[in-house]
């Protein structure tokens, strides 16, 4: 009696189908993972705020205030103190104060907890004044 079953061929077809099923399942999990990461990144809200106050030495000068890559103010400072308040919108933030006439800029790294920042200009240099410590 001859055995007509080709077991090697059946084994190879079964392994091939199993391999395609594994690749399909991995592709689905990668897609779902990327989709949930994108949704998380778009919905993060920060509650902290920054208040920037130009206290002394800026009156009559043309300045630009930039938080990261966003322009907060680009104008001539008419009177002091000049204040701008903005809500935190990124994990790490930096403030640029640019003198529009000389193109000199000052860079200040900002706290992740928000806060009140006061600036003074002396001898052409912008200085950060000490902050009042908050009770929390």
pLDDT digit string, tens, across residues 61-93: 888 888 888 888 888 888 888 899 998 888 888
Q: Are strands 49-56 and 115-122 parallel, antiparallel or unpaired?
A: parallel
How many residues are given for the chain? 136
Main-chain phi, psi angles of 75, to 5 degrees:
-160, 175
Please indicate, yes or no, whether residues 26 and 57 belong to a single structural domain of this protein. Answer: no
CB 80 within 8 A of CB 54: yes
Please indicate, yes or no, whether residues 17 and 56 belong to a single structural domain of this protein. Answer: no
Please indicate, yes or no, whether residues 66 and 99 belong to a single structural domain of this protein. Answer: yes
Please indicate, yes or no, whether residues 102 and 82 belong to a single structural domain of this protein. Answer: yes
Please indicate, yes or no, whether residues 20 and 87 belong to a single structural domain of this protein. Answer: no
Domain count, the chain: 2
- 135 is a domain residue: no
pTM (2 d.p.): 0.61
- 99 is a domain residue: yes
pLDDT classification of 136: cutoffs 50, 70, 90:
very low
- 5 is a domain residue: yes
Please indicate, yes or no, whether residues 25 and 60 belong to a single structural domain of this protein. Answer: no
Q: From CA 84, how far away is CA 14, in angstroms rounded?
A: 68
| CA-closest candidate to residue 117, choices 76, 78, 72 | 72
CB 106 within 8 A of CB 126: yes
Please indicate, yes or no, whether residues 59 and 35 belong to a single structural domain of this protein. Answer: no
pLDDT classification of 1: cutoffs 50, 70, 90:
low
CATH number, domain at 90? 2.60.34.20
Please tell me which residue, 40 or 81, carries the higher pLDDT value: 81
The answer on pLDDT for 41 being more than 70 is no
Which range of 27-31, 56-60, 92-96 scores highest in mean pLDDT? It is: 27-31
- The residue range of the domain holding 25 is 1-44
Least confident of 14-28, 36-50, 72-86, 95-109: 36-50
């Amino acid at each position: 009696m001859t055995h007509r079953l080709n077991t090697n061929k059946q084994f190879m077809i079964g392994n091939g189908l199993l391999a395609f099923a594994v690749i399909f399942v991995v592709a689905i999990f990668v897609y779902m993972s990327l989709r949930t990461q994108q949704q998380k990144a778009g919905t993060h809200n920060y509650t902290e705020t920054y208040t920037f106050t130009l206290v002394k030495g800026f009156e009559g000068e043309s300045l630009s205030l930039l938080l990261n890559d966003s322009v907060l103010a680009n104008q001539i400072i008419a009177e002091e103190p000049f204040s701008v308040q903005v809500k935190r919108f990124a994990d790490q933030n930096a403030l640029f104060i640019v003198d529009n006439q000389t193109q000199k800029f000052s860079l200040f790294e900002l706290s992740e907890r928000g806060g009140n920042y006061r600036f003074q200009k002396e001898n052409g240099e912008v200085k950060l004044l000490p902050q009042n410590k908050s009770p929390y």
